[in-house]
Structures are given as structure tokens and as C-alpha cells.
Amino acid sequence: MMLNMSIMVMMTLILISLLMFMLTIYMKMKFNYNKSSPFECGFDPFNKARIPFSLNFYLIAIIFLIFDIEMSIILPMILNFKISNMMYFNSMFLTFFMFMIITIFYEWKFGSLNWKI
């Protein structure tokens, strides 16, 4: 039983390797510059196809991701409101919101939120 299973696995790996090798050979023989260019209409592109994206967009996306994760932390706090101590809940909630407000002012002060053209 185990021998049959190992033979099947080996045959499968050999078949996959053979198919990948044949595909690699076929793709090298079938290479066409016009088909691999960004436009297939016959015109050469005027500029590079991979234009670098704006770093400011990336920074704002990271800031959004951080605040989105913080919102996912706030939601369970609201659900635990009934079973927790009121003083403990208020202190944790205020601490968390103060951290968020200080963070947004810090990013604003150093210009992370300014969209520069």
C-alpha cells in the first residue's frame, strides 16, 4: 500500500517536471517581441510601461492601514463594555483615542498627510 503511494507520488513529480521543462522549451521557441510588449496594436510605447508610483500615495496607504487596524481593536472593546469595569473601560478607551490623536498630529506635523505634486 505504502509502496504504491510512493510510486504514484514519484510518477506525479516526474510528470510535472517533464511538463514544466517542455513548457519552458516551448516558450523560448515561441518568443515574440511584439506580443511581449505592453501594447499589441503595433505601435512602440512612448514611455516605460512601469512608471514608478508616488511615494506619497504609498505613505497614505500605510497610514490608512494602521488606522484601520486600530479600528479593529476598538470594536471588541465596545462589545466588552457590558462585562468590564466602567473605570477600567474608560481609561483604556481614552488612552487608546489619545494615542490615535497624538499619532495623527505627529504625522500632520512632519508632512506625511500633505499630498505633494
Are 45 and 39 a contacting pair, CB within 8 Å?
yes
This prediction has a pTM of 0.43
Contacts for 70 with CB less than 8 Å, ≥ 6 apart: 96, 100
pLDDT digits (tens, 9 = 90+) for 82-97: 777 888 878 888 888 8
Provide the residue ranges of all domains of the chain, joining segments of one domain with +. Answer: 1-51, 55-109
The three cell numbers of residue 102 are: 497624538
pLDDT digits (tens, 9 = 90+) for 53-85: 677 777 778 888 887 887 787 777 777 777 778
Q: How far apart are CA 83 and CA 89, in angstroms?
A: 10
11-20, 32-41, 60-69, 78-87: lowest mean pLDDT where? Answer: 32-41
